[in-house]
Amino acid sequence: MRKCDCGIYNFVNKINGHRYIGSSSKVYQRRMAHKCLLKHGKHHSPHFQHAWDLYGENNFVFEVIEECNKDILIEREQFYFDSLKPEYNISKIAGKTEMTPEIRKKLSDACRGRPSAFKGRKHTKGSRKKISMNHADCGGKNNAFYGKHHTKEFKARLSKLKSGKNNPFYGKKRPDHSKRMLGKGNSFFGKQHTEAFKINSSLTKCGLTIEMSMVKEMRDNGLTQSQISDVLSCSRSTICRVLNNKIKAFQCDESKGNRI
């Protein structure tokens, strides 16, 4: 019976003594994970994968070198890296895997063409409600990027990514009527929308007036933001603004609203 599941382990090649060293708080689960990856040819270490394919599973033995507490795992793993010098580990720095071009290509090839794990599945009502609630509070100061700015280096990288042939407008010409609307040729040149107009622009021109209390009542009854927007025939961003107390009421086209 196992006394401890946390420690340093290795896979040893019985033919030449070469080894792969690792650490885990659940070494026996990690062993199964390694074997699964190796059997499918998807292990992150090409050296270990090649040896496994060459010598076969029966010529490797799994051993727990040392059982230790979780807080010193990396320290003890580094000790064995330095003393045993494992041949199959890519990186000899504990807790770090060196992303060589070979590994990057292997990861890319393994993921290419793989269907989404969520394909054919649907979120439950409870899951949709949680997602809706999380998005409802992401505006203003609740936004993770609130008060921050992109660095000049980041802006330069974005600009480079959209330059030349990467630009969707590359090789195309702007039509004459579009050119006339640029700059001073645009009737709105030098003007700005008022705050009231910005709010009203997200609303429909006529129909039923929806107040904040009505939206929140629908929300309390378990409807998601997407469902509420479908019912009221408005955009999801409008519902989000209502729930964030940015607008108190809006109008929707009653004839287009979907009743559920």
Q: What is the value of pTM for the model shown?
A: 0.40
Residue 27 structure tokens: 């070494």
Question: What's CA 237's distance to the chain center, in Å?
Answer: 22
The CA-to-CA distance between both ends of the chain, in Å, stands at 58
Q: Which domains does the chain have, with CATH numbers?
A: 7-111 (3.40.1440.10), 124-140+194-260 (no CATH)
Residue 60 contacts residue 14 (beta carbons within 8 Å): yes
pLDDT tens, residue order, the chain (260 aa): 455 688 999 999 999 999 999 998 888 888 888 888 888 888 888 899 999 999 999 999 999 999 988 888 888 999 998 899 999 988 877 776 656 677 677 667 766 766 666 777 888 888 877 777 666 666 667 777 788 888 888 888 888 888 888 887 888 887 887 777 777 777 778 888 776 566 555 544 444 456 677 777 777 777 788 777 776 667 888 888 888 877 777 665 544 443 33
8 Å CB contact between 27 and 76: no
Q: Give pLDDT, residue 231.
A: 65
Return the pLDDT at 213.
Answer: 75
7: three-class secondary structure by DSSP: strand
How far apart are the C-alpha atoms of 170 and 164, rounded to whole Å? Answer: 6
Structure tokens at 206: 């006529």
